[in-house]
Amino acid sequence: MGSNAPEVLGLSSGQAKERLLRYGYNTVEGRKRLSDLEILLNQFKNPYYLLLLFTAILSAFLGEKTDAVVIVSIILLGSLLDFWQERGAYRTVEKLLTVVKTRATVIRDGEEKDVPLEEVVPEDAVVLRAGDMVPADGVVLQAKDLFVNEALMTGEAYPVEKTTGSTLYMGTHVVSGFGIMKVLKTGRNTEYGKVVEKLRLGKGETDFERGLRRFGYTLLEVATLLILLVFAINAYYNRGVINSLLFALSLGIGITPALLPAVVSIGLSYGARYMARKNAIVKRLASIENFGSMTVLCCDKTGTLTEGSMEVYTVKNILDEDDERIALLSYVNSCFQTGYKNPVDEAIKKSFGTLDISQFQKLDELPYDFNRKRLSVLVKKGEESLLITKGAYSHVLEVCKYAQVKEKVIEIKEVLGKIEEVYARYSGQGFKLIAVAYRLFGGESLNYEDEKDEVFLGFLILHDPLRKDAKELVEKLLSLGIELRIITGDNKLVAKYVAERIGLKGEIMSGGDFEKLSEEALVRRVRDTSVFAELTPLQKDRVVTALRKAGYVVGYMGDGINDVAAMRSADVAISVENAVDVAKETADIVLLKSDLNTVIDAVLEGRRIFINTMKYLFMQTSSNFGNVFSMAGASLLIPFLPMLPKQVLTANLLTDSAVMSIPTDRVDDDWTKSPKRWNIEFIRRFMLFFGPLSSIFDYITFIFLLYVLRVNQETFRSAWFLEGLFTQILVLLLLRTQRIFIKSRPSPLLMLTVLTVGIVGLILPFTPLGSMLELRPLPTPLYAFVLWITLLYFISVEAVKKFFYRKYNF
């Protein structure tokens, strides 16, 4: 367990298991895992399914038992196919999420153990360090400079110091220091759990989800009106009330986007699996589509544009000379600090690890925070107490009254020009500078007012080289319609150097500039500003908010406590595997390695999934919508039901089998070159162009069958069944691309399912199942007619498509 709290023994493993059974998992949203039964029942959310089942059962009571059994069987078979696909998608994503599960450090059996956050139980002793999530409500048993951000609960942005006996709340996070807490309440019994239960907190709908929901409602309303019309016409002509109702409801299932949830789920799971192979774990599936619409990416330079391997380059005093005292004092400061773990301290300890600091004894500490941007440690050496401070140059400078030149201590104002000169020289070359200062101290404990009258000693100079492909990555983002914004706590000169090296153009703004701008002015400025330097966490959040107000879809890549507020405000939050817990918990996607290439892959995958979902809607709103109009007209012109309900449902089932492979389809490069957002107007136009075109060919078909060939009703239905099936599955191959069909290859699975469904449709009338469905083999001339009309429709769609995309852009 270490030396921090040897007397805290915590629970035994057996006690923890018993409490987990008694109190349940430590989650605020109940049981997140959907059972197979719940996934199956979700397939029946479409009200037309339920109405159709009810009507089919009613028809069985009225004597039509065979038809009722066939209809119910078709519905159940279709639902089982959808269930199997959606279950596979859900379970795949579930497995991927376990890779980046947030964990808590608890004391079990007398030693520290990492356990999943949801397995924390009442009476657990939880060890807290900087960056950790507070996993439950509890009380502090031990604390050392423990500061907690409680903004989620109180709205207060500044960290609150916690001492022994203080209360801690679930959902808050540790900013700095060390502590051990005793858990009192978990899950929905916590204060955070009560808030969630009351307000149903959580990230709101994405633009894509909102668009799908609204469009689904629109189709549902239109379908309802058409169904009532079709039912009324057929009932008026005495074609049987039950049969007319079954027929109308069958059409409703065809037009409503019943498969939309399954298509989206399957597409997202494919995307999540693809991203996992690219070293990224998607935590929130809907965020993949947000990646597709992202127009600006905000990130720090460290680890994304640079190698992420911080190294000490040199140490320089005020006279730009090497100085061992700076190395020694910075090493002492880094070794004794217990707060926020960071690459600067790791680099210092690695570089100066051979120095002997055994004569120093730690007395107290003022941990680093992102407002002070400095860290002070009080140590004792012999009879002398020494306060050592290191941090950002401007923030250390403000507590210094003196400066040391050689062995002489003088007023800092006498050498301020020399200090600025050294600072500017190395910062301008892209180095990160950490200022070091000290003063003799009289006591053995610290408070923040003690950071004053210090002696400025010099600089620790660190180097993190630019990635060789950094410029290329920035150009690649721009080619995809995504602007890059560097948002960093580093100084302005370093940020400017990096921006120039990677070819990033635009203004540079520092944190100090923010105070002079109103919100409206900031919204205007962010459009032309590419680098934001020397920012506090709240200022980072302001930048993200301003970018969103300026009309951007914002992605934010962060890994530290100081990034969390901005990540929560962004449309897409990205983190990395080695980030602090609270950053990973906030993220929508977690990269297993910090690499902009992975972000670019996510963007392209997001666009691919978005476009494949649109393909389903294109088909739904053209061929299917046209079919309903055709059936409505046919009901007026034809003296019998144009198609039996079981035939309509069978055609829907076969078409759905082809549609389910859309998420695997290839996407043309032309469609992934720019951000994609939901465009209801484009879909309406698409529907108005291609829906009536489908109806025209349906009318040609039934007029030819009825008035030219004068076929009987069984042959009519069988021919129309085959023509409708062929046109629906083949048009899928056309509407999946804006190019000419032969210039855009579909995925092998899509091509296979389309061909398979077509073959099944051809041989079905020759089978016993076809007899049950009352489908009959056609005379050879009729097969030729069906193929001819399908080919003509194929050519017409290509011609209209060319005209449509010349006029409207997707």
Residue positions annotated with a catalytic role: 300
CB 374 within 8 Å of CB 390: yes
> What is the distance between the alpha carbons of residues 554 and 557, in angstroms, rounded to a whole number?
10
- Amino acid 715 reads T
Written as one string, the DSSP assignment of 512-571 is: HHHTT--HHHHHHHHTTEEEEES--HHHHHHHHHHHHHTT--EEEE--SGGGHHHHHHSS
CB 575 within 8 Å of CB 602: no
Q: Among positive and negative, which fits the CA dihedral 349, 355, 356, 357?
A: negative
CB 722 within 8 Å of CB 730: no
Closest to 344 in 3D by CA, of 389, 391, 396: 391
Q: 400 has which bridge partners? A: 454
What tokens does 628 get?
Answer: 């309903």
> What is the distance between the alpha carbons of residues 580 and 586, in angstroms, rounded to a whole number?
10
What is the torsion angle, in degrees rounded to the nearest 10, for the CA atoms of residue 595, residue 597, residue 601 and residue 604?
130
CB 561 within 8 Å of CB 131: yes
Closest to 555 in 3D by CA, of 540, 572, 530: 572
Indicate the burial class of 92 (C-beta count within 10 angstroms; 0-12, 13-18, 19 or more): middle
Helices (H) and strands (E) in the chain, counts: 29, 23
> What is the distance between the alpha carbons of residues 58 and 684, in angstroms, rounded to a whole number?
37
What tokens does 302 get?
Answer: 């460290």
Q: Among positive and negative, which fits the CA dihedral 148, 154, 156, 162?
A: negative
- Strands (E) across 239-335 are located at 280-282, 296-299, 311-317
> What is the distance between the alpha carbons of residues 412 and 410, in angstroms, rounded to a whole number?
6
Closest to 177 in 3D by CA, of 204, 146, 154: 146
Which ranges of 237-259 would DSSP assign to H, the alpha helix? 241-255
> What is the distance between the alpha carbons of residues 599 and 154, in angstroms, rounded to a whole number?
33
CB 728 within 8 Å of CB 619: yes
